[in-house]
Amino acid sequence: MGDSTVTRSQQQLAVSQQTQQHQQGPYVSVITNRTSNLVIRGAMLFSVGVFLALVLNLLQVQRNVTLFPPDVISSIFSSAWWVPPCCGTASAMIGLLYPCIDGHLGEPHKFKREWSSVMRCVAVFVGINHASAKVDFANNIQLSLTLAALSIGLWWTFDRSRSGFGLGVGIALLATLATQLLVYNGVFKYTSPDFLYIRSWLPCIFFAGVITMGNIGRQLALYEYKFIQEKTHQD
């Protein structure tokens, strides 16, 4: 009995939204455009990745964990020029990959979807890096185990999705392999390698980083999700 009422109100809603959209201007149309939205998200993730890479590298360089050729050290960037772009690209890919995989698996990630939670996640990630660089551990195994536990804890606290875990582990392994190759080819080196050519905590850091970037990416994708929904509704 109330259906026609509902219909009518919806109609009204749709029309009012349309009129609203006319007023909304270019910003929204950019957001709602799928490609440009993707580009924007990618750019944001990239910049976040670059920023984090710079900051975290600074942490590592302070403690002489990583050694880059000395002439670069005095430059503003504490590491070689290629590191931040690489990290940025990787984080952009990861951040886009996560919501995409969520969409394909059909399990939208509903756990703690808030910016405050994302911020907490980033803070914990920086904290893990901080610990790896600054805290003096008795031996490397202890350090690695602690960091591994922290990373798993990060996942459990902020993600809890199987896809997230799988992707995190996969990318962490790939990244570790890539680093091994880089160090093997002498691009840079670690002061005291204990796992072939690298430090054994590196996979944990990678894992935590993947989880963090995925978290950010999902949160960003939430905007697009909403806009797209609205758009389909208007269409």
Partner 1 sequence: MTLREQLREKISAAFYRHGLLCASYPVPIILFTSASILTCCYPLLRLPLPGTGPVEFTTGVRDYSVPSHEPHGDLGERPDWYRGPPVAYIQQVLVKAAVSPWDSSLVPVDVFRSPLGRVFSLLEEIRNHVHSDSSGSRSLESLCLQVTGLFPGLRRMQSVLPEHGCLLVSPGNYWQNQRELFDSDPDLLKTIQKHEPKGLHTSATLRDLLFGVPGKYTGVSHYNRKRVVTYTITVVLSSYDARFLGSLRARLKQLHPSANCSLRDDHMVHVHFKEEIGIAELIPLVTTYIILFAYIYFSTRKIDMVKSKWGLALAAVVTVLSSLLMSVGLCTLFGLTPTLNGGEIFPYLVVVIGLENVLVLTKSVVSTPVDLEVKLRIAQGLSNESWSIMKNMATELCIILIGYFTLVPAIQEFCLFAVVGLVSDFFLQMFFFTTVLSIDIRRMELADLNRRLPAEAGLPPPKPGPLRPREVPPPPRPSPHTITLQTPAFRNLRLPKRLRVVYFLARTRLAQRIIMAGTVIWIGILVYTDPAGIRTYLAAQVSEQSPLGDSGGAGLPPHLAVAPVFRGGDPTSTLSIHAAPDPTPLPENQSQGHHGSGRSGPLPQAPPAVPQITWGAEDEEGWRRLSFRHWPSLFSYYNITLAKRYISILPVIPVTVHLSPQEAIETRHPQDTRHPPLPVPKVSADLQTDLTLYKVAALGLAAGVLLVLLLFCLYRVLCPRNYGQNGVAHGRRRRGDLPCDDYGYSPPISEISPLLLRGHSMDIECLASDGMLLASCCLAGQIRVWDRLSSYKPKGTLNGCWEQRDGWDGMSSATEPEGFGSEGCDCAIGRDSLSEDEAYPVRRRTALPWPTLFTDQPDLTPLIDTNFTCQPPSHLSTPPRGGFDFGGLVERAYMEHEPPSPSAYPAPSSASSSSVWAMELRGNLIAAGRSSGKLELWDAVEGSLRCRNEDGVSGITALAFLNNRIVAARLNGSLDFFTVEIKKPLGLLQYRGPPGRGSMPPSPCYSSEDVISLQLTRSIQCAHQKPITVLRAAAGRVVTGSQDHTVRVYRLEDSCCLFTLQGHSGGITAIYIDQTMVLASGGQDGAICLWDVLTGSRVSHVYGHRGDVTSLVCTNSCVISSGLDDLICIWDRSTGIKLYSIQQEVGCGASLGVISESLLVTGGQGCVSFWDLNFGDLLQTVYLGQSSDGQGVRQLLVLDNAAIVCDFGSELSLVYVPSVLEKLD
Binders in 7-46 for partner 1, by CB under 8 A: 7-20, 23-25, 27-28
Applying CB under 8 A, among 37, 66, 78, 79 the residue interacting with partner 1 is: 78
Pick between residue 162 and residue 170 the one whose CB is nearest to partner 1: 162
Look at phi and psi of residue 186 and say left if phi exceeds 0, alpha if psi is from -120 to 50, else beta: left
Element counts in the chain: helices (H) and strands (E): 9, 2
Instruction: Give the HSE-up count for residue 124: Cα atoms under 13 Å, Cβ half-sphere.
Output: 24
Work out whether 75 is an interface residue with partner 1 (CB under 8 A).
no
DSSP state of 126: H
In the complex, the smallest distance separating the C-beta of residue 67 from partner 1, rounded to whole angstroms, is 9
Kindly state the greatest CA–CA separation across the chain: 79
CA distance 95 to 42: 8
Applying CB under 8 A, among 39, 43, 100, 123 the residue interacting with partner 1 is: 123
Window contacting partner 1 (CB under 8 A); options: 53-61, 84-92, 171-179, 200-208: 53-61
Applying CB under 8 A, among 43, 58, 174, 178 the residue interacting with partner 1 is: 58
In the complex, the smallest distance separating the C-beta of residue 130 from partner 1, rounded to whole angstroms, is 7
How many residues sit close enough to partner 1 to count as binding (CB under 8 A)?
71
In the complex, the smallest distance separating the C-beta of residue 34 from partner 1, rounded to whole angstroms, is 16
Applying CB under 8 A, among 106, 185, 186, 192 the residue interacting with partner 1 is: 106
Cα dihedral 20, 99, 124, 128 sign: negative
DSSP 70-114: HHHHTSSSSS-TTHHHHHHHHHHHHHHHHHHHHHHHT----TT-S
Work out whether 69 is an interface residue with partner 1 (CB under 8 A).
no
Tokens in use for 198?
A: 């690298």
Applying CB under 8 A, among 43, 73, 141, 174 the residue interacting with partner 1 is: 73
Positions 189 through 228 that interact with partner 1 (CB under 8 A): 222-223, 226-227
